[in-house]
Structure 1
Amino acid sequence: MTQQQLPSSEDLAAFLAAVDGATPLSKPDRVSFEAPKPSPRPRQLERDEAAVLAELLQAPLAIDDWLDLGDADSFLRSGLPRTLLRDLRRGRWSIQEHVDLHGMNRHEAHQQVSLFLAESLASGRRCLRIVHGRGHGSPGREAILRQLVKVWLGRSKDVLAFCHAPPCDGGDGALWVLLKAASKPR
């Protein structure tokens, strides 16, 4: 065991000189607690939800879009081998380009997806990632863009397959898309 050293007489004198004239604090008889602070109000989320709701009220979806809104996790064009989709899910194809649709309304997103697919096909890119988000900014936190992007991709004759990206690449907030090979000019 180590011995505690007592302060020297010089140290004690210096301490007493430093606290000379100080009045001791009174000891309260009870413990006082602060009132709990109110939880923060998500003002930006409220503004985002109001903006999305206003957008939905201005331009309703066509009935066929609502009927086609599937929750399918993947798509494979009919007549193609299932191994193509399996290879896409396993990451056999490397992502050559991506687009992020965060902050866009459905009209802007549709235009962006169409342009992105056309440019990718023209430049020979086959494997793409489309980040559509999880719908946290939508009313009711419903992922409207997630469903619409799947509808748009399924309708495109250039899309062979798509599936949700793995968690490290966006999870259910992103899709991996495989395009057909660009036809070579003769």
Structure 2
Amino acid sequence: MALFQQEMKGIAPLKQDTYVAPVSRPEIKIRRQQKTTRQAQASFEFSDAFEGFVPPEGALRYCRQDVPGYELKQLRRGDYLPDYILDLHGMTRAQAKHELGALLHTAWQEHIDCVCIVHGVGSGVLKQALPHYLIQHPRVMAFHQAPLEYGGQGALLVLLEIESPFSKKR
């Protein structure tokens, strides 16, 4: 330290001028490209024409064929706690599809296995469409009408297939 102080003796500090370096344009373009790429990855094309089988009687529910039935029972009882809650109140079908795709993608990235989607009761447009959208998505294992604390008849608890952080990337 003494050697450094000896070498710096007599040197005056620089005065700060008011020059501000301009923001380079390539960084902005890269950020926009990354955002577009993320949006493309998060988008999933839900079809309005597809109608999966949802039992007409009882609570709104679905379980994929390769998923054990007890998973659906655990959803019904509220054994799974949702990490994310998506509120679709006031959204159109198109907005709801976009938000749903983004939620499912984000949950997959964060290794989250359960989310809650609040669609409300209202006129029932989203309540009728939402199950058919969820059945189309490959990562949705099961869903069930949410317990009262998460919205009851106006919400769904969705069980998602997650990729293990220890599995190899494909």
Aligned partner of 1:125: which letter?
I
CA distance in 1, matches of 2:147, 2:64: 21
Tell me whether 1:99 sits opposite 2:106 in the alignment.
no
CA distance in 2, matches of 1:150, 1:183: 26
Tell me whether 1:124 sits opposite 2:111 in the alignment.
yes
Q: CA deviation at 1:182?
A: 1.7
Q: CA deviation at 1:166?
A: 1.5
- What root-mean-square deviation, in Å, do the aligned CA atoms of Structure 1 and Structure 2 show? 1.9
Instruction: Flag structure 1 segments of 5+ consecutive residues without an equivalent.
Output: 1-60
Q: Contact between 1:69 and 1:148, CA under 8 Å: does it hold in 2?
A: no
TM-score of the pair, normalised by structure 1: 0.58
Q: Contact between 2:64 and 2:141, CA under 8 Å: does it hold in 1?
A: yes
TM-score of the pair, normalised by structure 2: 0.64
Aligned partner of 2:76: which letter?
R
CA distance in 1, matches of 2:160, 2:150: 19
Instruction: Flag structure 2 segments of 5+ consecutive residues without an equivalent.
Output: 1-46
Aligned partner of 2:131: which letter?
K
Q: CA deviation at 1:68?
A: 4.5
Q: Contact between 2:114 and 2:160, CA under 8 Å: does it hold in 1?
A: yes
The runs of at least 4 consecutive aligned structure 1 residues that moved more than 6 Å come to none
- Other structure's SS at 2:126 match: helix
CA distance in 1, matches of 2:153, 2:53: 15
Tell me whether 1:173 sits opposite 2:154 in the alignment.
yes
Tell me whether 1:75 sits opposite 2:62 in the alignment.
yes
Residue in 2 that maps onto 1:146: 127
Q: Contact between 1:96 and 1:125, CA under 8 Å: does it hold in 2?
A: yes
Q: 1:129-166 deviations in whole A, cap 9, x for unaligned?
A: 000111x2xxxx3x010111111111111000000011
Q: Contact between 2:54 and 2:62, CA under 8 Å: does it hold in 1?
A: no
The correspondence of residues 24-35 of structure 1 with structure 2, limited to 5 A, is none
Structure having the higher Rg? 1
- Other structure's SS at 1:103 match: coil
